[in-house]
Amino acid sequence: MNDINNVLSVLDTINKENTVSLYVPSLKREVKFKSITTGQQKLILKAAVDNPIFQTRFVIAAFNIITENCTEKEILNQLTTIDSLSILLQYRINNYGAEYSLDQDGVEYKINLATFKEEVQKINVPGSTIFNLDSFIIKVGAPTLLEQYQLEKEMREKRTEDTTINDSLGEAFMGEVSKFIKEISVVIDNKTQDINYKNLSFSKKYQVLEKLPASVVKGIITYLENVAEVQRQVTRFDGVDNNGNVKALDITIDASMFSIS
C-alpha cells in the first residue's frame, strides 16, 4: 500500500512540473497550465455523449480541467468563456496535433489548427459596459468560465432526455442572455435600486429576465452579438477540400476534438 502511495506521489510531482504555456486573451499574456493527464482525457471522452444544444458534460469537464491545471489560481475567476475556448484549442494542438478534419454537406475539409497560435494574440475580449434603457441600468460583460459552469450545474446537469428541442432552444437563449448580465438597477421615482442580480440563482435570474421589456433584452443581445463575433475568431478556420478549394468554416470545440484516434 505504501508503495502505490509513493508511486502516486511521484506522479503528482511530475504532473506539477510538466506544464505548458497557453495564451489567455483577456489577460494578454501566457499562463502556465499543467498538461492534460490520461484521467482528464477520459473525463473529456465521457462527455462525448452529450446534449447537442447545451454540451453540459463537456462544459463541466472543461471547467474542472482548466481550474485544476491552471498554476495561477488567483486568475480563475477572471477567465471568460472566450479564454476557455482558447485554452482548450491550444491544449488540443499541443497534445493531439494541429491536423483536423471537418465534414460539411458531405465534403471533407482539412484544417490546420496551428494557425490559431498566431491569431490568438489578436483576440480582444470586450470589456463590460453600462447602458440605460427605459427605467433600467444594465451592466453587461463577457461571461466568465465560472458563470458558465454554475449555469450548467444548476439548470442543466440533471435535465431529463425527454426535453423537447423547442424547450431546449428557449432555455439556451435565456441562459445565454443571463450569463452576460452582471448587474441590473431599476430607477423608480428618480431613485436607483440595485436588484442584486449577480447573486441570484439562475432560476431567479430567469424570472427577472422574463419581466424585462423586450427593448431592454434587445440592447443586451446587441452586446452579446459583439462577444459572439469575437468568439468566432477562436472557432473560424480555413478548410481545404480534396480539390484544393478553400472555405471559411466554424468548428465546434467539444469532446470529439480530443479523441486520440
pLDDT of 177 over the 80 cut: yes
Query: At 28, is the pLDDT very low, low, confident or very high (cuts 50, 70, 90)?
Result: very high
DSSP annotation of 254: S
Q: What is the DSSP letter of 155?
A: I
Residue 69 has which C-alpha cell?
491545471
Largest CA distance in the chain: 72
Q: What pLDDT, on the 0 to 100 scale, is given for residue 10?
A: 45
Q: Average pLDDT of the chain?
A: 86
What is the percent of the chain where pLDDT is above 90? 57
The 10s digit of each residue's pLDDT in 73-92 is 999 999 999 999 999 999 99
The whole-number average pLDDT for the span 245-256 is 94
120-157 as b/e, with b when 16 or more CB fall inside 10 Å? Answer: beebebbeeeeeeeeebbbbbbbbbbbbbbebbeebbe
Q: Enter the C-alpha cell of residue 24.
A: 489567455
Q: What is the DSSP string of 93-153?
A: HHHH-SEEEEEETTEEEEEEGGGHHHHGGG--PPPPEEEEETTEEEEE-PPBHHHHHHHII
Tell me the average pLDDT across 23-46.
Answer: 93
CA distances from 212 to 31, 78, 209 (A): 39, 28, 5
Domain assignment of residue 4, given as a range:
1-261
- For residues 239 and 96, what is the distance between their CA atoms, to the nearest angstrom? 18
Domains held by the chain: number: 1
Report the pLDDT averaged over residues 21-43. 94
Rounded mean pLDDT, 211-232: 89
Band of residue 53 on the pLDDT scale cut at 50, 70, 90: low
pTM given for the model: 0.86
Q: What is the mean pLDDT of residues 28-43?
A: 93
State residue 17's pLDDT score. 61
Contact 227, 142 (CB under 8 A): yes
